[in-house]
Amino acid sequence: MSLYAVTNPATAETVATFPTANDAGIESALASAHSAFLGWKYSAIEDRTGLLNRVADLYTERREELAAIITREMGKPTFQAGIEVDIVVSIYRYYARNGPKFLEDEELEVAAGGRAVVRKEGLGVLLGIMPWNFPYYQVARFAGPNLMNGNTILLKHAPQCPESALAMEQIFKDAGAPVGAYVNVFATNDQVADIIADPRVQGVSLTGSERAGSAVAEIAGRNLKKVVLELGGSDPFLLLDTGNVDESVQRAVFGRMVNGGQACNAAKRFVVMEDVYEEFVEKFTAALAAIEPGDPTDPKTFLGPLSSQAAADNLAKQVDAAIAGGAVLRTGGGKVSEDRAYFKPTVLTGITPDMDVFHQELFGPVAMVFRAASEQEAVALANNSPFGLGASVHTNDAEKAARVADQLEAGMVYINEPGGTSAELPFGGIKRSGVGRELGKYGMDEFINRKLIRTAK
């Protein structure tokens, strides 16, 4: 059976399979990407911006087709799938517009006189290892800035996303990218290890699990390759005070449930002050219980299936273990039916630090709610996690918001909105949530040679 296959999680039907690359195919991809870099690194800035703008144009033209592909591959509701394509367009436009400024020489003050500048140049071939939860967005935030830098891309997508992987490669071809500038590879894990070790490859960017990140970082470290790792998250949502519980519940529902709860930076742990805890839990539970999983091809569907039967089974095991360990089930609790990937929206309370689930990431429509008696306790609960991707603080007191934001151990903190994304905002975490940043000007700075050019007086 092929490693790369489209299995519709709404129907459990495998609709297409794709062969993995053989070793000769991998070598051809490496040679092509390296050859392209030797020219692309010297390309005019106008050529790079032109390519990214044409890519954005094609995403816009093919929006409906692209959305349908990922609905079929990983169950994203069609309305949300279209929004993902729109975000991708904004990312490519952002780097086409701002990339030239980010690449400008930086003049240094020189104590001994003369002149010194730092010039930014591409490093070479980069390998991107991408996940299934946002098949287009994750690729764009890696490919956009790095093609602008003058690097070239080898893209290894998730095994359940071969159709979207090929659609993206075709967009770059149709946009006039040089042959080898963006190459899709249906590689095995062993082949990925060989690619990382290859001297033509200068860096690796991975978005995925802790286990995958650790494996890739180990191989890259042995071969002295730089990595950017965006891994798991269990982002806290701190409700410190509110003048409108209903509005706070709406924010919480959106923060937890978008993309079926399958986002690294989704709000997953809700830390609520005790004076509003009972009302919040009651209304939050009712709001999630009212959400019915539905057909992802229906434009009105908000919650589709999880990405696969295996994902739903794993989440059910985590929830079952939590309940067996003493967690209180408020609503939901498992799959809609044994043979489907649909999962009931679930709320758990009564979770304590001695339970495994307290330290785990729940990747799906499951929320953990905690009671806090003070601001200090809320911060301590939020920081008591192996993860440090994002966090959000909700309060009507701006001074309190700033004070708490400063204390949170996270790569990103949002105030009075659940975590989100935008092309100009740097994305990344600390602790076991990874290293490095994507998006914004910082996304341009990860895989680049800052070459010093010094002229004596």
344: Cβ contacts below 8 Å, ≥ 6 apart: 293, 331, 332, 333, 334, 335, 336, 365
Cβ-contact 81, 71 below 8 angstroms: yes
* Cα angle 445, 135, 309; round to 5: 135
> Phi and psi dihedrals of 18, rounded to 5?
-135, 135
Q: What is the DSSP string of 333-390?
A: -SBSSTTS--B--EEEE---TTSGGGGS---SSEEEEEEESSHHHHHHHHH-SSEESE
H/E run at residue 310: helix 309-324
Tokens representing residue 394 in the block: 């909700």
One-letter amino acid for residue 162 of the chain? P
Annotation marks residue 264 as catalytic: yes
- C-alpha 63: how far from chain center: 20
Beta bridge partners of 6: 16
Three-class secondary structure of residue 235 per DSSP: strand
> Among the options 264, 409, 438, 446, which is catalytic?
264
Contact predicate 296/10, CB 8 Å: yes
Per the rule left: phi > 0, alpha: psi between -120 and 50, beta: everything else, 440 is left
Half-sphere exposure of 303 (CA within 13 A, CB side): 24
- Where on the phi/psi map is residue 372: left (φ > 0), alpha (ψ -120 to 50), or beta? beta
Q: Output phi, psi for 5, to 5 deg.
A: -150, 145
- Distance CA(125)–CA(38), nearest Å, equals 10
Torsion of CA 151, 136, 189, 182, to 10 degrees: -30
**Residue whose C-alpha is closest to residue 208's, from 403, 452, 434:** 434
95-98's contacts with Cβ under 8 Å and 24+ in sequence apart are 95/52, 95/144, 95/145, 95/148, 95/423, 95/444, 96/48, 96/49, 96/50, 96/52, 96/53, 96/56, 96/148, 97/49, 98/424, 98/441
Identified catalytic residue from 230, 361, 409, 446: 230
- What whole-number distance in Å separates Cα of residue 212 and Cα of residue 437? 18
Edge-to-edge strands, sheet with 448-455: 106-108, 115-122, 448-455
Active-site annotation, residues? 230, 264
